[in-house]
Amino acid sequence: MELLLHQITAGLATGAIYACMALAVVMIFQAIDHLNFAQGEMATFSTFIAYQVMQWGQGYWVAFAAAVIVSFVGGVLIDRVLFRPVSKAPVLSQVVAFIALFSILNSADGQIWNYTIKTFPTPFGHKPLLAGLADTHEAGMIGVTLAMLALLYLFFRGTRLGL
């Protein structure tokens, strides 16, 4: 029974990651009216930036801030160079542009950080909770997802920029 409850908790934590990814895809699609096939690679590149900053000896929050800044600048650059020029192009041209961006980012990741799996440390640790049914990492993932969803709800319902 304990194993079943632990698997349910681990599944909820993994599902929280999938929920964040799905929400990101929907938000970007609504914002630019295109399906961005390179969105996962853009997130991967940002994660590698944070990973590299941590490899240089900086803490998690410094790495997080660096990744956000680099991602913002890269996003603005990609918007100006790629998204806007193809916004009025035929759909097939848009698909080709986004697949090209995917390939470019994937190749850049591989050239800079090699094509090997890297481990990224969790900011939450791995201490057991609830008599071993969960750990702090799983609880942290679920908590961050719920907090993000609550903030997005408040943003979309409570501001003029929202829905």
Tell me the pLDDT tens digit for each residue of 24-50: 998 888 888 888 889 999 999 999 999
Tell me how many domains the chain contains: 2
- Place 4 in a pLDDT band, splitting at 50, 70 and 90: confident
109 and 54 in a common domain: yes
Same domain? For 23 and 82 the reply is: no
Identity of residue 35: L
- Over residues 117-121, mean pLDDT: 89
Alpha-carbon span 3 to 11, nearest angstrom: 12
Look at residues 24, 61, 20 and name the one whose alpha carbon lies nearest to residue 145: 20
Domain that holds residue 116: 36-121
Q: Which of 103, 100, 113 is nearest to 48 (CA)?
A: 113
The answer on pLDDT for 109 being more than 90 is yes
Burial (CB count <10 Å: 0-12, 13-18, 19+), residue 124:
middle
Q: Give the per-residue pLDDT at 163.
A: 66
Nearest Cα neighbor of 101 from 116, 86, 113, 90 is 86
